[in-house]
Structure 1
Amino acid sequence: MVGQERGTRGVRRTEPAQGVVDFHELLAAARELSLAGRWDRALRLLDATTCAAPGDRARLALASAEVALQSDWFGGTELTTVRAEHAAKESPGPDRDLDFVRPRRDCLRLLRSEGTFRPGPEGKDPEALSGIRRSAIDLREGAPDEVRRGLASMYLGLVAGLIADNLFGDRAASPAPYEAALHAGESGGDDLLVRGALRHLGDHDHDAGDHDRALERRQRATALGARAGMVPGMLTQQMLLAVPARGTGDEAGATALAAAIARWAEAIGTARIHAQATGLLLGADPTAPPQEGGS
């Protein structure tokens, strides 16, 4: 923060400068910082903000929980639970947007065991898996109006697909919600939802051997992520472009791209992406479905 120096009996001290910023602009700035992978800066910005109105405090706390979730997902931190609990205390009542945070947090918690990304249902509590699925369905069906129902379809359709893919190991069940998420995202003008749906649909195309369609979807997803300024998401998309390069025999191109991704990921602190890029350099396929009976 910019400071002001004041003298008191020969002692100089620095005090934070005070200013007024439009609250909507501040939340938008924090969200863009989060998309760019600047989670610590986004959280410091939000933590330095004070609000008098209870409703604004609730929105501020919700924004902090959403940034924390992005940090946990890409950066390997564990910030969401505390932030989400604070947001629940600040909320004057049920908050559908905060309800979207919890199933994604729980999904990540089950995917990441002892600091390691472990897809598939092996070794996971079946009741916890079923609970995540029930939460996603309840949020979609319990939307209080048509607009919120549409938002629930956009976001929770994708979440349901992620759960089916990564936790239940049921790849055949997830293309339908991904397609629904794609349609909803395109209808609602939500580029990030479209990007996410295309990313995972491209995985299924790749597994089915339709490499041309996979490449088309992944390239479009990459462009949408770039337009949104989503740096960690761009790195994952670049990795998905490296896989078909290797598949078509361009090992030099795949290796060069994976090495660049690893350097970027390490530089911005995205531990999971760095591990995936390093694995890609060693010959692993980060898009491969979970092996049956394995983790």
Structure 2
Amino acid sequence: MIGAEISLSLIGSAIVLLLLSLGYWQWRKKYHQSIMNLGSPSKRQGSWWYKNRYTPSLPLASPYSGKLVQPKIFATEHLRDTSTNSTHALDEAFPYQRREKFFSPTELTLLQALEKVFQPYPYRVFSKVCLTELLDPSTELSSDERRIALERLRRERLDFVICHIGTGAIVGIITLDEESKREQLDLQLHERFVDIALLAVGIPSIHITAKPDYQTTVLRQTLQESLKLPLLVSVAKISTIIGTCPKCGQPLKRVKVTKGKLAGRQLRVCSHYPRCKTLLPENSV
């Protein structure tokens, strides 16, 4: 009786292991099929060695974090028949659709208003810029910490970036406050992170509430006060700018020193002095 009970127990254990193994391989099969469903090696025609030249196996970890990240599109190789120029083949290989417009109506309205404000001045507006274009992780971080910090920056996008066209210097950031963003806590947290990061590195920023229309004079005054841009200077004066500051990108003005060791000399001084204390000799480029 004891031997029979042991045999039944072993048989039961074997059946359970068999069922678990079958379940695992079924899951594994579906998993690989989900990765390879976009023009994959399993669908190729030809000899077995050709169909299996490539493997759908992917790295078990993202290079930026320790999580398992295996997007479908990473397993996609080349189109199976590029000579046919088939739209159907493209749809299978790249599961995307085109957006009709780059800007939302509120973004376009503010952009047009900013273009009017900056038209006579040496500034240009760039939109939807990734935060990694402005910031880099600290060199004091370890390699793992740098990867995590860089991944955090990659998640953030800036609505509008203002640059000086003469030097390429970043002079300010504009965030568009839309009604839809105020109701989403995750977007608020993202914007809070961006604000703190910009403040930490000394890049001025401002939030502008979305409106159906903007008054150019009011918007110019707001940018002048918040970003410290010389937007109230006349166009005639702008045309006589003698250069741009290599540190902050603001216009340089010519002054004659009356006191001190440099008395009697003419220098180029940043228009943001004393906030920016750049001093250049008159004959500098």
Normalised TM-score (structure 2): 0.23
Q: Compare the two structures and name the one with the higher helix fraction.
A: 1
When Rg is computed on C-alpha atoms for both structures, the one with the higher figure is 2
Q: Compare the two structures and name the one with the higher strand fraction.
A: 2
